[in-house]
Amino acid sequence: MNYEIKQQDKFRFIEEGEGEPLLLLHGLFGALSNFKDLIEFFRPHYKVVVPILPLFDLDIFHTSVGGLEKHVQKFIELRDYKNIHLLGNSLGGHVALVHILKHPERIKSLVLTGSSGLFENGMGDSYPKRGDYEYIRKKTELTFYDPKMATKELVDEVFEITNNRIKVIKIIALAKSAIRNNLGEELNQIKQPTLLIWGNNDTITPPFVGKEFNKLIPNSELHFIDQCGHAPMMEVPHEFNQLLLAFLNKLRNGAAAQ
């Protein structure tokens, strides 16, 4: 299903449904398609919002986790969202963490899946000659437990990004920013109920990363999904949506500690 991409000021986003905002932050090679099953499942009950992060549109000085967080903060203020359920995958999880630490007041809960912020294996320290499609295909396959999830359409998207010199410079800037911005000592400040959903076969943010987040974030619960890599909401959408639904229902029923 295609969703209307709305524009307000400099912000581009999807907004579907009514209710408390469920705000989704995509990763470094993420796209709106990453969340299609999640949007469809939750839009009858929540206002599902997906801002398109300006990964390649910020000037190089602001091409960082902090720069993306500022964009998200301004977007939330412009739209005046409150009681937000903030969900981030990969780099989007890292942006969500920085945001909740700086601006906790509008956030009701946090959901992280394959998040950076403590440790991650990136696309690699360096890129091969631009134009190496086979290398990009193999790297894209590493995102998933099942390499068939790396469809030609998805590989083409990543290839187009990595074949653009300016975009590659910005990807490397964002990846370096994520590695430098380790949040280990700050995570105990997060008060909101937090759901951690991790693929047991995630090679980018391996299972021990999920366990470490669980240990450091006070009011958190951790769930692993077997035969699943770095993007559970794409690879195993049914299991992911059921875990998220149970968590949100528990909050709604007041069962989660406040």
Q: What is the pLDDT of residues 98-124, one digit of tens each?
A: 999 999 999 999 999 999 999 876 644
Confidence of residue 254 (pLDDT cuts 50, 70, 90): confident
In a domain, 204, yes or no: yes
Cα–Cα distance between 189 and 57 in angstroms, integer? 31
In a domain, 257, yes or no: no
Mind spelling out the 3-state secondary structure of 90-133? Answer: CHHHHHHHHHHHHCHHHEEEEEEECCCCCCCCCCCCCCCCCCCH
* CB 175, CB 193: distance < 8 Å: no
In a domain, 219, yes or no: yes
Give the pLDDT score at 233: 97
Which pTM does this prediction carry?
0.93
| Closest C-alpha to 15, from 27, 25, 6 | 6
Q: Is the pLDDT of residue 3 over 90?
A: no
> Which percentage of the chain shows pLDDT scores above 70?
94
In a domain, 53, yes or no: yes
3-class SS at 221?
Answer: strand
Give the pLDDT score at 37: 95
In a domain, 258, yes or no: no
Give the pLDDT score at 119: 81
Give the pLDDT score at 255: 52
Residue 9 tokens, joined:
């000021």
Domain range spanning residue 238? 6-251
Q: Is the pLDDT of residue 256 over 90?
A: no
Q: pLDDT digits over 192-217, tens only?
A: 999 999 999 999 999 999 999 999 99
Distance of CA 165 to the CA centre of its chain: 24
CATH code of the domain containing 208:
3.40.50.1820
Residue 171 tokens, joined:
């990807």
In a domain, 1, yes or no: no
Q: Is the pLDDT of residue 136 over 60?
A: yes
In a domain, 72, yes or no: yes
Count up the domains in the chain and report the number.
1
**Average per-residue pLDDT in the chain?**
92
Q: Is the pLDDT of residue 219 over 50?
A: yes
Cα–Cα distance between 56 and 90 in angstroms, integer? 17
In a domain, 229, yes or no: yes
Average pLDDT over residues 68-78: 98
Q: pLDDT digits over 10-54, tens only?
A: 999 999 999 999 999 999 887 778 899 999 999 999 999 999 999
